[in-house]
Amino acid sequence: MKKKYGYAIVNSGEKAIVYNLEGQARLVDGPQRIFLWREKIEMLKRFTASQSEYLIVKFRDGRVEHFNGPCSMFRVPTLHDTIRVRKAITLDAHEAIVVYRHNGDASERTVERHLIYGPKMVVPKSNEWLHTFCWHGVDPENKTRYIAASNKFTKLRLVPDQFYYNVDEIRTSDNGLVRVKLMIFHEIHDVNAMISATDDPIGDIISCICADVTSFTASRTYADFVESSAELNDLGNYPHLTTMCKASGIRVTKVVFRGYFAAPTIQSCHDEAIDKRTGLQLKFEKEQQSQEMQDRELSSERERIARAHQLEIDQLKQKQKLESTQEKHRLALEARKETDDLERKNADRAAQLAHAKAKMDHTIAHYEQLRSLGVDLTQYILNEAAIPEKVTKIVSGKEGRANPSPNIHFHMGSSNHNVAL
């Protein structure tokens, strides 16, 4: 602000406030040229918010209002106490914020809690404020060490997450000091339950993990712990952790045992014992392999002899099969030849019979034709028959003789020969 006499210019798009001697103020919008007489002029500051911003305006009477962008406003000292430009809250698909809102008048104000999930761009209202989380955070110098209240944020990540943690200075039942290395997988599945049950779920998880690992280790000797350390991968060995998760809306899906670290003296003794045990184990395995090799050689020899015998038997069977096949083939050829000969003879006989029958049928038809013509068939047949060169007749003896003996007469041509029997 400065005192000025004479003319003053307020450019286009600007605004100014002018005070007189009595302290009264008036606003001047540009473009304008004004005359000042014993007055003070002050150019007003413009505050502008883009689409991803908003303005927080605090009035002189104590009211606070938020104006969503895009917008612009001049700060008028007689009306506004402060004007601030703030970025809108952008939420990804796996993020959420917790918003508190008070309702009612100044005497009776009730507060409500709301969850807003992404993806979304949020501009809080004047009667709303965000919940600020304050959890254990990772030590920048050691990722397995956590510092209380070092992680402050307003956006919750709702996707599964994991972190490394080492449980240090855990003693076994034989007073061995070990460090257990773990990797914990967790996720938030009920935000309201988590906010109501705990202020720092990571700290609660760490405390429960320490309690469960201490209980697991204290009930075992160092050697037993080394042998059963793989059981730390099972969630059943973390009763305090699982009980806490049920009540706080946190789900621990898996705990991975990444190994352990022991004091140098204990580790040295354990390594020496491991070396001896390993040497004995190697000696035992060597002897066992030698015995197994001998057994395999004997078994292979036995199998080789059995295969040779089986090969001889198979060769004999094959030879017998071949001979049997050849004999069957020879018999089949002979049977086929006999069958062909028999069929040929039957065919010839059938042809002869058919020819004879045809000839006889022709003769009978000829005789029938002759008979129909009135020809004496008996005489015709005798005439057609060939005259024999010799005729032999057998005639009985004369009657009346005592003890007659038969006579046989041979008529050969014109001479007769009688033979008495």
281-299 pLDDT, tens digit per residue, is 888 888 888 898 999 899 9
Instruction: State whether residue 148 is helix, strand or coil.
Output: strand
pTM of this structure: 0.59
| Residues 6+ positions from 111 with CB-CB distance below 8 Å | 100, 101, 102, 103
Closest CA to 29 of 48, 50, 43: 43
Give per-residue pLDDT as tens, 9-19: 889 989 999 99
- What does the mean pLDDT of the chain come to? 86
Alpha-helical (H) ranges within 103-248 are: 191-197, 201-218, 222-228, 239-248
- Angle subtended at Cα 280 by Cα 277 and Cα 285, rounded to the nearest 5 degrees: 120
pLDDT at 36: 87
> What DSSP state is assigned to residue 398?
-
Q: How confident is the model at residue 387 (pLDDT cuts 50, 70, 90)?
A: low
Least confident of 83-87, 102-106, 376-380: 102-106
pLDDT of residue 393: 54
Q: How buried is residue 348: exposed, middle or buried, by Cβ count under 10 Å (0-12/13-18/19+)?
A: exposed
The whole-number average pLDDT for the span 314-337 is 91
Token output for 109: 């104000």
Distances, alpha carbon 44 to alpha carbons 11, 48, 81, 284, 381, in Å? 12, 13, 13, 93, 167
Lowest mean pLDDT among 82-86, 100-104, 335-339: 100-104
Token pair 């045992």 is found at 257
Q: Given the DSSP bridges, would you call strands 32-43 and 2-10 parallel, antiparallel or unpaired?
A: antiparallel
179-183, 291-295, 303-307, 365-369, range with the lowest pLDDT: 365-369
Q: Which residue has better confidence, 349 or 3?
A: 349
Q: For the packed helices 264-372 and 377-384, what is the interaxial angle rounded to 10 degrees?
A: 110
| CATH number 2.70.98.60 is the correct assignment for the domain at 160-262 | no
Tokens of 319: 């030879």
238-281 pLDDT, tens digit each: 999 999 998 888 999 999 999 988 866 655 666 676 677 788 88
Give the pLDDT of residue 415: 46
CATH of 1-44, one of 3.90.930, 3.90.1200, 2.30.30, 3.40.1350: 2.30.30
Give yes or no for a contact between 213 and 178, defined as CB atoms under 8 angstroms apart.
Answer: no
Q: Where are the domains of the chain?
A: 1-44, 160-262, 276-385, 391-420
Task: Supply the DSSP string of 73-104, one letter for each residue.
Answer: EE--TTTEEEEEEEEPEEE-TTEEEEEEEEES
Same fold, 1-44 and 160-262: no
What pLDDT is attached to residue 405? 53
Give yes or no for a contact between 217 and 210, defined as CB atoms under 8 angstroms apart: no
Q: State the pLDDT confidence band at 381, using cuts at 50, 70 and 90.
A: confident
Q: How many CB atoms lie within 10 A of CB 44?
A: 19
Tell me the per-residue pLDDT of 105-162, one tens digit each, with 9 for 90 and over: 656 678 899 999 989 999 999 889 999 999 999 999 988 899 998 999 999 999 999 9
Strand (E) positions, 228-339? 250-262
pLDDT of residue 222: 85
Which pLDDT belongs to residue 382?
A: 79
142-156 pLDDT, tens digit per residue, is 888 999 989 999 999
pLDDT tens, 162-204?
Answer: 999 999 888 888 888 889 999 999 999 899 999 999 999 999 9
In this prediction, residue 17 carries a pLDDT of 92
For residue 353, report the phi and psi dihedrals to the nearest 5 degrees. Answer: -60, -40
DSSP 221: -
pLDDT for 102 beyond 50: yes
- Cis before residue 70, ω within 30 degrees of 0? yes
Q: Cα dist. 155→111, 124, 134, 365 in Å?
A: 20, 14, 11, 129
Statement: residue 35 has pLDDT above 70? yes
